Amino acid sequence: MKLEYRTIEVAKGSKWSCNFCSYDKGKSSNASHEMVARKSNGYADVAYICKDCKQDFEGDNLPWCEKCGRLKRNRISCFCRLVEEKDTEPVSEETIIAQAYSSRLETRIKELEKELSDTKEELKIEREEIVKFQEKSEEWGKKQKQELLDRIKELEEEIVRLKVQLEQFTSQQTAQIEVKEPRWSWLKVKK
């Protein structure tokens, strides 16, 4: 007797892998739906399925286990040999949906916590880079300031040196003018 499966679309961003993709294909797609089945004694089977495998399921092309009536995982094996069937109370559809929903929420919480820790790590790295940049910027600024101060000092020294040269030149010119006698000294006018 085959189990009756119902499909529920998984939340966006869910990272569940398909339980029915064949190992022969060498791939495992992300699941688009969650499948839930139950027996009269209350046992439920929960699996995840991708769009391609869902089309095979709807076309009745997925293999079924002859012992327990479940769909075979990866199209080759069943878990019935691993799970002992026990008499249990029937599980309501609401309970199955609630369990599936809480499972999805827990998975999403874990994903968000990982994303948060990754973001914190990235932020920490960015802060460290900003601090390094600020330190280099301050160092460069101090270096530039010192270079400008050194250049100002050189220019002030050059100005002083040029003023000294100007004073020497001016005093030499003045001395030469005072020492020179007029060229027409023989033309002195007598009174």
Residue percentage of the chain with pLDDT more than 70: 77
Q: Quick one: pLDDT at residue 90?
A: 63
Model confidence band, residue 158 (pLDDT cutoffs 50, 70, 90):
very high
Is the pLDDT at 59 greater than 70? The verdict is yes
Is the dihedral angle over the CA atoms 27, 30, 32, 36 positive or is it negative?
positive
Please report where in the chains the tokens 């069937």 appear, as a residue. Answer: 85
In terms of DSSP bridges, do strands 33-38 and 44-49 run parallel, antiparallel, or are they unpaired? antiparallel
Q: What is the pTM of this model?
A: 0.41
Return the structure tokens found at 78.
């069943």
| pLDDT tens for each residue of 95-118 | 777 777 777 888 888 889 999 999
For 69-100, letters b (16+ CB in 10 Å) and e give bbbbbebeebebeeeeeeeeeebeeeebeeeb
Q: Can you tell me the distance from the alpha carbon of 163 to that of 155, in angstroms, rounded to the nearest whole number?
A: 12
Q: Can you tell me the distance from the alpha carbon of 70 to that of 65, in angstroms, rounded to the nearest whole number?
A: 5
What are the respective helix, strand and coil percentages of the chain, to the nearest 5?
Answer: 55, 15, 35
